[in-house]
Amino acid sequence: MARTKHKKIVEVNLLPNVFNIKNGSTDKDIVKYFANENPISLEIGCGHGDYTISLARNFSHRNFIGVDLKGARIWVGAKIALENKLTNAAFLRGNIEALSEFFVTKKIEEIIIPFPDPHIRRASESRRLVSSMFLEIYKSILSQGGKIHLKTDNEILFDYAMGILSDSKYQIIYKSNNIHAEKDIPIIAAIQTKYEKHYLKEGRSIKYISFRLKN
């Protein structure tokens, strides 16, 4: 198992649709890979790339970048994208805190945060991916009017996000504490990862917020 994981970590750096912040890649390299000027969406904490792959399949007129620190996870999504010739899907390995160093041209129009670690303990609030610190990072890479989408099954994280977004510098576009009970669900919210399907089988309600950062 460990040998397989190591092999993936080595191989992931050789895949043409994978970029690494530590290796000096920039957003210009990814734009060159896409070879078009289509809008770009960024998935934070993409794991095995379920969401990024599904979005790329549903929106051929957009480009999608999945971000994660774990190379073995990214390898899975990157290989699927290559095997299915999804040229509008790419992956970025690195820390979220370093995104502003990588995306210097503000080409990101959309950020998607599906089921992040809620960091339940109060001492870990700053690590929540919708904390004020992370929202400032997103603001530094989003284009004018860019949107952020959050999906979670965690009530504490949902309430925390709603509290943060009550500030006048944020504009909530859509919110629901049970998105799959709504009618006319946005496609971006309707897409389900394997973990989300598992949560739904357990009877958990899925919460969703779409919002903008005002400039």
- How far apart CA 199 and CA 23 sit, in angstroms, is 36
Evaluate whether 45 touches 77 at the Cβ level (below 8 Å): no
DSSP string for residues in 150-213: EEES-HHHHHHHHHHTTSTTEEEEEEESSGGGSSS--HHHH---HHHHHHHHTTPPPEEEEEEE
Structure tokens at 110: 């959309």
Using the predicted structure, report yes or no on whether residue 187 has a pLDDT greater than 60. Answer: yes
Evaluate whether 96 touches 134 at the Cβ level (below 8 Å): yes
List pLDDT tens digits, range 193-208.
Answer: 888 999 999 999 999 9
Can you give the residue ranges of every domain in the chain?
Answer: 2-213
Contacts (Cβ under 8 Å, ≥6 apart) of 154:
118, 120, 207
Taking residues 125-130, report their average pLDDT. Answer: 93
When mean pLDDT is compared across 7-11, 24-28, 42-46, 177-181, the lowest value belongs to: 7-11
pTM > 0.85: yes
What is Dmax (Cα atoms) for the chain?
Answer: 51
Using the predicted structure, report yes or no on whether residue 2 has a pLDDT greater than 90. Answer: no
Taking residues 111-115, report their average pLDDT. Answer: 96
Using the predicted structure, report yes or no on whether residue 176 has a pLDDT greater than 90. Answer: yes
**Domain 2-213 class in CATH:** alpha beta
Evaluate whether 40 touches 65 at the Cβ level (below 8 Å): yes
Using the predicted structure, report yes or no on whether residue 23 has a pLDDT greater than 90. Answer: no
Instruction: Name the band, by pLDDT with cuts 50, 70 and 90, for residue 107.
Output: confident
157, burial (CB in 10 Å: exposed 0-12, middle 13-18, buried 19+): buried
Evaluate whether 96 touches 133 at the Cβ level (below 8 Å): no
Q: Which of 104, 101, 85 minimizes the C-alpha distance to 16? A: 85
State residue 5's pLDDT score.
Answer: 76
Verify whether residue 117 is a known catalytic residue: yes
118 conformational bin, left if phi > 0, alpha if psi -120 to 50, beta if neither: alpha
Q: Write down the catalytic residue from 27, 117, 159, 167.
A: 117
Using the predicted structure, report yes or no on whether residue 177 has a pLDDT greater than 80. Answer: yes
Using the predicted structure, report yes or no on whether residue 3 has a pLDDT greater than 70. Answer: no
State residue 6's pLDDT score.
Answer: 72
Task: Tell whether the torsion through CA atoms of 34, 37, 39 and 42 is positive or negative.
Answer: positive
Instruction: Name the band, by pLDDT with cuts 50, 70 and 90, for residue 77.
Output: very high
Measured in whole angstroms, how far is the alpha carbon of residue 46 from the centre of its chain?
Answer: 6
